[in-house]
Amino acid sequence: MAIFGSLKDMPFPDLVGMLGRRSGVLEVFHLPGRKVGYTIALDGGKVLWVREGTKVLDPVQARSVLQELFRAEEGAFEFAQGTPPPPPNGQALGWPLERILLTTTTVVDELAAYRPHLPDPKTRFQAVALEVWLEEPLWSFWERARPLLAQGASAEDLGHRLGLPVEEVAYYLHKLRLAGKVAPVRAYQETRPDEEKRGLLRRLLASLMGRRG
């Protein structure tokens, strides 16, 4: 038995639904704009680990790859059934496939709906709440982004530092902003004008007030 084909004919969500509770290793390759393919280890319908080329991905990156695959319209796949190798770091993701299917579909739909409202990739945000309760995948993103957001970071900065697509980071920042966990940096509050400039501005203010009178 061989499970293989093209994502053009069998989109990734269909493939995931079809794999059901199987165990094995799914290779996805020939993706447009990608030099290396992805490998996903499945054990009884759960995702154990995700690899990009030879690099095992952390949970946030793994989720991002699954989202990318859910949107992919081209590419090839091949599934080798059997017992998959354990995760190299000993920590399995343990994500049930059907739940991934549901949450990823939600993210993809939400991303499409939010797209016109996403912040500019260069707009800087900072954390405004430290104790937060969030659902996945927002929680994993928050955990990784929090140290960078403490100083102020844009979607572009975070995407670069965390190895995530910029638009996906902009989506997470938008959601975190809606939840009141981050807010845009107001750069002028980070610097105080010197006394000479403040004096000048006071003069201008007095002049304006005189005009009003």
Partner 1 sequence: MRGKPLKLLVSGPVGAGKTTFIQSLSEIPVVETDEWASEEIGKERTTVAMDFGLLTLDGVPIYLFGTPGQERFDFMWDVLVEGALGLVVLVPGDSPRDFPKARHILEYLTSRHPVPFVVGVTRQDLPKVWTPGEVADYFGLPPEHVVGMNATSPTSATLALIRILELVTGERWQGVW
Backbone angles phi, psi at 5, to 5 degrees: 155, -160
Q: What is the 8-class DSSP label of residue 66?
A: H
Binding marks (x or -) toward partner 1, 14..43, rule CB under 8 A? ------------------------------
CB of 167 to partner 1, least distance (A): 15
For the chain, state the CA radius of gyration.
23
Out of 131, 191, 194, 196, the only residue in the binding site for partner 1 (CB under 8 A) is 191
- Of residues 21, 30, 55, 117, which one binds partner 1 by CB under 8 A? 117
The residue (of 54 and 191) whose beta carbon lies closer to partner 1 is 191
Q: Please state the closest distance from residue 46 (CB atom) to partner 1, in A.
A: 40
213 makes contact with partner 1 (CB under 8 A): no
Segment interacting with partner 1, rule: CB under 8 A, options 39-47, 77-85, 118-126, 159-167: 118-126
From 20-28, 30-38, 78-86, 198-206, span contacting partner 1 (CB under 8 A): 198-206
Do 155 and 169 contact (CB within 8 A), yes or no? yes
**Under the criterion CB under 8 A, does residue 113 sit at the interface with partner 1?**
no
Which one of 109, 120, 136, 143 is in contact with partner 1 (CB under 8 A)? Answer: 120
Spatial separation of the C-alpha atoms in residues 178 and 51, rounded to whole Å: 32
Residue 154 in the binding site for partner 1 (CB under 8 A): yes
Q: How many residues in the chain?
A: 213
Q: Is 201 in the site for partner 1 (CB under 8 A)?
A: yes
Binder of partner 1 out of 107, 160, 190, 194 (CB under 8 A)? 190
Which residues have CB under 8 Å from 173's CB, separation 6+?
119, 125, 155, 158, 182
Is the preceding peptide bond at 137 cis, omega within 30 degrees of 0? Answer: yes
- Distance of alpha carbon 143 from alpha carbon 110, whole angstroms: 21
Give the DSSP H or E segment for 15: helix 12-19
* 72 half-sphere exposure, CB direction, 13 A CA radius: 30
- The residue range among 13-21, 29-37, 58-66, 120-128 that interacts with partner 1, by the rule CB under 8 A, is 120-128
Report the phi/psi class of residue 129: left, alpha or beta, with left for phi > 0 and alpha for psi in -120 to 50.
beta
Per the CB < 8 A criterion, the answer to whether 128 and 180 are in contact is yes
Residues that bind partner 1 (CB under 8 A): 116-117, 119-120, 122-125, 152, 154, 177, 183-188, 190-191, 193, 198, 200-209, 211-212
